[in-house]
Every structure is written in C-alpha cells, then in structure tokens.
Amino acid sequence: MRIILARQAGFCAGVKRAIDIAEKCCDQEHTFYSLGPLVNNDEVVRCLESRGIIPIKGLEQVNPPHRLIIRSHGASRDLLLEAQSKGIEIIDATCPLVKQVHELVASLRGEGYDIVIFGDINHPEVQGILGWCDNNALVINDVKQVSQIKPGQKIGIVSQTTKDENKFYELVDAIKLQAGVVKVCNTICAATKKRQQAARELAQEAELILVIGDRKSSNTTTLLRECQNTGVKSYQVQNANEIEPDWFEGVSTAGITAGASTPDWIIKEVMDRMTLLEENDNQEINEEIQTNEESFAHMEAEMADFTTPSRGDIINGKVIEVRDDEVMVDVGGKSEGIIPRRELSVQDIESARDLVAVGEEIEVMVLKWDDDGTILLSKKKVDSQKVMDNLEKYFNSNEVVEGTVTGSVKGGLLVDVGVVAFLPASHVEDGYVKNLDDYIGKDYKFKIIEFNRNKRRGSQVVLSRKELVAGEKAILKEAFWQNIEEGQTRKGKVKRIVDYGVFIDLGGYEGLLHVSELDHQRIDHPSSVVSEGEEIDVYILALDREKERVSLSRKQLIKSPWQVVLEKFNEGDIIEGKVVRLAPFGAFVEIEPGVDGLVHISHLANYRVEKPEDIVQPGQVINVKILSIDAEQKRIGLSIREAAADDERGDIDEYLDNQE
C-alpha cells in the first residue's frame, strides 16, 4: 500500500511557538501552570505535564512566584489584568494571529460596531475573543442563527481562526441581507486554509484518508469534514492505536493529514503502523518503510525550526492574504509574516489592496520578531534600500533627480524621491521663500547635496533646488535682455509687494512697478490693487542695461478716469454723483473714481444759498446735470438746480401726457 503524506500537516506556527515557549519553561526551576490545555491535544498536554507544565482551570490555583503560561488560544483582557494585579508573572504563548483578532474586535467595538464571531461558543479561542469586546458579541456557528441580528444593525464580523472559510462567507452573505452596515474581517488562519487545500489535493490521489488529531481540536474537525466532502473515505484518529486494519482492505493508496495541534511523533507512529499493516513480502515492506521514512523526513524538516531571519534580513515571500490594513506573507518554514499598511509604501495609501494581490511574490525586510511570535515585515524598506542605492549613484555622479514635494516641516519641505528626503527652506529657491506650502504636490528636479544612509538622526538624503534654479534663471535672464525693449507690453507675475511698489517676475528678470505707475489715481498701498502671485500686463517704461534695471508701468495700459468720463458722459446729461467735499463757493461731486466736478453755490438750488452745507453734506449721493466739460483744463461744471428743474419739467410733461 502506498502512503502519501499531505504537503501541509501537523503543527502550525502558532502551536509550534506555544510548544517551544513551554519547553523552554521546562528547563527552569520555577513552577509553571497553563491556563487550560496549552493546545488541543491530550498527548501533548500529558507530555508537557510530565515535564512540569501543569494545566489548571482558574487563577485561584496560582500563587506567586508560580508563573502562568497563556495558551495558544489566548485569554480575555480581564483575566490578564487580574493575573497582573495578583503579581502573577505571565508567559504569553497566544498565537499571534489570535492576538490580532483580539485587537480587531476591540477596535471594531470602539468604532461602534456590534460584533459577530463565527465560531463555537465553548471553544477557548472564542471565549478569549469575547473578553476583548467586553463579552458583548453574538457568537454564531450556523447560518440559521443570523435571524438573531436586528435589521439595520452595524455589524463587524470576525471568525475563530480554525473555522471553514467557505462557511464563513456563507454566513457573511446571510448577514449582509439582514444587517445595515457590515465590515467583514476574515481572520481564518492561513495555516488552516493551507491544510484544507492540501487535503483536497491529497483526495485526488488517495482512496482513503486518515486525519490525525484530537477530537477536541476545531481545526482537525474542520479538516476531517473537508476530506469527507471530497467523497473519499475519511477517518479521524487521535493516535496509532485507533487505526482499524479493516479500513485498508482493497486500498492501494492511502493519504495522511493532521490538524494544526498534532505533533510530529504521533504522525510518525501512524505512518509506521500503516506500513506494518501491509502483508506483502519483506522487500516490499522495506521499500514501503523507506518511502514513508523519506516522506516523514521531508515533513519533519518543514516542521523543524527554519533559520530564524534576523532584523534587517531581506527574504522572499508570497502574498497569501490581503486586508485593508495589512498583508500576510508566507516566508517559508510554515511561518507567516505581517506587513502593516504603513510598511508597504513611502506614500500614504487607503488600502493594502491598492498595491499587492494574493499570489504575488515580493521581497520583504524583517523588522523584528516580536515576543508574541509575530514576524513584522516591511516592503517599503526593501524598496527604499533599492532606491537608496540609485540615489547614492546620483549623488556620486552629481546627477539630477526628480521628486514630488509631499509636505512641509519646520525648516523646509519633505520630498518623495522614492524615499522621503529633506529640502531645506534655504535651498527651495535662490532667494527667500515666504510660503513653503505653495510647493506641496508639485514635481521638481533636485541635486543631492547630502547623502548618508547610516545617519541615525535627521534625513539621510538632503536636496537642493538652489543651484538648478539659479542656472535656469541665468539662461532666462540672458534671453530676457536680448529681447526686451522699451515700449513693449509684457505679462508678468507679482513676486513681492513693498510700500513703494511691486516687483514683477518677467520670466528671467524682475522689474519694478513703482506705486506711482500702478494707477492713474492715488492709492494708499500697492496691495489694494494687486496681490502676490497674480499675473498682470505691464508696460516697459524704461531700461538701464548697464545697471540691469527695468522700470514698469501699469497705468500706461489702462484708461485714465478722464478718458472714461469723456467716453461716457456728454454735456446736458443728468447723472448720479457723490459729494466729496465742500468749499465756500460750492460743492465738489465725484462722478467717476478720480474725477470730481464743481457745483457752484449758485447752482445748488433755485433760490439764494448762504452756505453749501445748508443744501448738501459730504458723502451724500445726489443727481446733477453736466453743464460743461473742459477736457484741456480737466474741469466739469455741474448743477443740482438744473437737474431738479429738468426732473420737474419731466414730471409736468408726463402729467400732461396722461391728461390727454
């Protein structure tokens, strides 16, 4: 009989880590307790107990200096706090993936979600998860229980890590029909999914499958059901003693798989027992034993501690799961690493799904291997290292690099050149920059003026535009003086505003627009007419090529108030004006900005007036009639009296017309 061992079987990384932690404790003098069975396998628990790891049911059985191991299934937050308050030293062997579920439900609870846990309510992992959301969650193990959810609820759903993924999504679909808002968090362990996939592949070759694992083990139960669903005859055994020879009558190929809490020695015993069942000649038996030994050796090598990557190591991995906030990567040796969203890219991204996909092979850097067993990885740092190699070449060869300004900090700007570089404020331009935020979001070229990848404080890459800007300006300046002439009209940008005028960037050179040349009328300050950054047309008033000075004018290009008046008004027109000042001989009335006309005292009313203030006051808006316009002397004669008379005649004419 040919025996095939599934490519994924036995201890997962979380269980193996818990066992390793416990075995290290066995070598110490202290008394250690585990809160409940360390893993769901009686034989493993008995083995550990014989070495001094005693399983207990409650904290009342532990007194300092005795120490407490938290099993791979995790524990509630309240229990951990209670243990700490009693002075009990805790050795936390919680599976890192289970810990992530704890953090996730606490976060969802804080965001106002009602928590739904897909799992077995009596399972220790589920009991621990409940303790991280204030025991305020609905535990569902069947689609029929979805009716307990109220219509319109805001639901956050997680799963016990050892459950069946297909059933999880069946449940999700049902909840979406019932609830209002649903946030789905697939927390099923990748190792569980791998074992199920390997079992399905095994079923394509085997006529019978043995699933090895404790009957209390949820993932083993799920694995058995997955095998049975393929249609292949499948049996679960806890050890070699439970094997029935009758199962293998007529079977030429048998398969073996094992749950995540099944140790390698039990798998080996089962394989040996199956080999001995074969009643062929000794040669065939020996060949079979040799084949099985090779299969087991291969599995044992996989299950053994692979070389633990150190901080800073760059390793290859395969993306096995992508969530919005993190990416799970298979880095070999049955271990998975986590890339937080912040470690995916130097740029801010809304979701990890925007950058990577399941099945993609990527290079990652090991940031650390936490005490809780989590391998924290970074894709950003690998990408950054490659970028740093290129930037070092640019620095050594004095080449130009391109980048995007992403933000401002004290003293300068941050620039994305593949890594975050620093651009000092004094190197943004070849002169003072008033508002650095104007540069954010824009692309520029830079020179690298400082490069130090070993620098611990401050930026490893420091940039400058100063030299490049100065060079560009020199080229533009030369072209400017070759083409500029007095009398030209040029478009320019307001660069700086001072009390005495405005400096205009003409594209290669700055000219002065004096305050007296801004407008035909007197102005209090240049800022009342133009603003920084505004583009305006200017007239080249004068050039001094030796001193490189350019005088500009704006008022040469706009109509004077008198030109407006001459085009707009005629003698005899009745118009509206505003009294601006009084004199003994009459009142001055503004009819256009910058143009005043005189209403002589004799034209203030149709009777003798002693003082103008008896009739009008400054600021008063009145109707006046234009009596005369003297363009040469720039004088306008106005009359309130005539305007009133004309209005009165108009009223009389309108009355007479109505009488007819």
> Where in the sequence numbering do the catalytic residues fall?
125
Measured in whole angstroms, the distance separating CA 489 from the mean position of its chain's CA atoms is 48
- Distances from the Cα of 29 to the Cαs of 51, 53, 371, in angstroms? 11, 12, 21
Q: How many other CB atoms are there within 10 angstroms of residue 342's CB atom?
A: 13
- Strand locations in 10-136 (E): 32-35, 53-56, 67-70, 89-92, 114-118
CA distance from start to end of the chain? 128
Long-range contacts formed by 201-206: CB under 8 A, 24+ apart: 201/6, 201/7, 202/4, 202/6, 202/227, 202/255, 202/257, 203/227, 203/230, 203/231, 203/232, 203/255, 205/4, 205/253, 205/255, 206/4, 206/232, 206/253, 206/254, 206/255
Closest CA to 413 of 453, 472, 466, 345: 466
Element (H, E) at 166: helix 165-178
Rounded distance between C-alpha atoms, residue 420 and residue 391, angstroms = 12
3-state helix, strand, coil in the chain (%, to 5): 35, 30, 35
Closest CA to 378 of 394, 359, 356, 403: 356
Closest CA to 419 of 465, 455, 370: 455
CB 236 within 8 A of CB 41: no
∠60-61-67 over CA atoms, to 5°? 105
CB 612 within 8 A of CB 601: yes
Torsion sign (Cα): 438, 440, 444, 449: positive
3-state secondary structure of 211: strand
* Rg (the chain; Cα; Å): 44
Element (H, E) at 287: helix 282-303
Q: How many other CB atoms are there within 10 angstroms of residue 222's CB atom?
A: 23
Closest CA to 252 of 278, 231, 230: 278
Classify residue 373 as left (phi > 0), alpha (psi -120 to 50) or beta. left
CB 318 within 8 A of CB 359: yes
Rounded distance between C-alpha atoms, residue 594 and residue 561, angstroms = 6
